[in-house]
Amino acid sequence: MRILAIETSCDETGLALVEGVKTNEGFAFTVLDSALLSQAALHAGYGGVYPNLAKREHEKNLPVLFEKFKDAKVDAIAVTNGPGLEPALWTGVEFAKKVAKERGVPLLAVNHMEGHLLSSLAQKEHSGILENTRIVLEGVKLPVLALLISGGHTEFVVMKNWFEYEIVGKTLDDAVGEAYDKVARMLGLSYPGGPEVSRLAESIREKQKILSQKSLGLLSSAEDGAAGQTFVQEHFVSLPRPMINSKDCDVSFSGLKTAVLYALRDRGGIQKLSGDEIAAVAREFEDATSDVLVHKTKRALEESGAQTFVIGGGVAANKHIRESLQKLVAENFNEVEMRLPELNITGDNAIMIAEAALARALSGKNDQADETLRAIGNLSIQTS
Q: Which of 26, 47, 143, 195 binds ligand KG4 (CB under 6 A)?
A: 195
Question: 331: which residues sit within 8 A by CB, 6+ positions away?
Answer: none
Cα angle 256, 382, 36 (rounded to 5 degrees) comes to 75
Q: What is the CA radius of gyration of the chain?
A: 22
Question: How many residues at the interface with ligand KG4, by CB under 6 A?
Answer: 19
The smaller minimum CB distance to ligand KG4, of residues 9 and 215, is found at: 9
318 touches ligand KG4 by CB under 6 A: yes
Shortest Å, Cβ 144 to Zn ion: 18
Task: Using DSSP, state whether 277 is helix, strand or coil.
Answer: helix
Instruction: Region of 83 please: left (phi>0), alpha (psi -120 to 50) or beta.
Output: beta
Of 132-140, 146-154, 297-305, 353-361, the segment contacting ligand KG4 by CB under 6 A is 146-154
Shortest Å, Cβ 347 to ligand KG4: 4
Of 52-60, 122-130, 193-201, 257-265, the segment contacting ligand KG4 by CB under 6 A is 193-201
253 touches ligand KG4 by CB under 6 A: no
Q: Which of 181, 186, 207, 366 binds ligand KG4 (CB under 6 A)?
A: 181
Contact 297, 325 (CB under 8 A): yes
From residue 293 to residue 332, what is the string marking binding to Zn ion with x (rule CB under 5 A)?
Answer: ----------------------------------------
155 touches Zn ion by CB under 5 A: no
From residue 114 to residue 153, what is the string marking binding to Zn ion with x (rule CB under 5 A)?
Answer: ------------------------------------x---
Q: How many residues does the chain have?
A: 384
Closest to 377 (Cα-Cα) out of 56, 88, 159: 88
Shortest Å, Cβ 371 to Zn ion: 26
Cα angle 196, 198, 203 (rounded to 5 degrees) comes to 100
The smaller minimum CB distance to ligand KG4, of residues 14 and 242, is found at: 14
Order of strands across the sheet that contains 308-312: 164-170, 154-161, 144-149, 308-312, 337-339
Closest to 336 (Cα-Cα) out of 310, 316, 315, 299: 310
Question: 165: which residues sit within 8 A by CB, 6+ positions away?
Answer: 114, 117, 157, 158, 159, 381, 382
348 touches Zn ion by CB under 5 A: yes
Other CB atoms within 10 Å distance of the CB of residue 322: 19
Shortest Å, Cβ 180 to ligand KG4: 4
Of 53-61, 254-262, 307-315, 360-368, the segment contacting ligand KG4 by CB under 6 A is 307-315
User: Which residues make up the interface to ligand KG4 (CB under 6 A)?
Assistant: 10, 150-152, 177, 180-181, 192-195, 198, 313-315, 317-318, 347-348
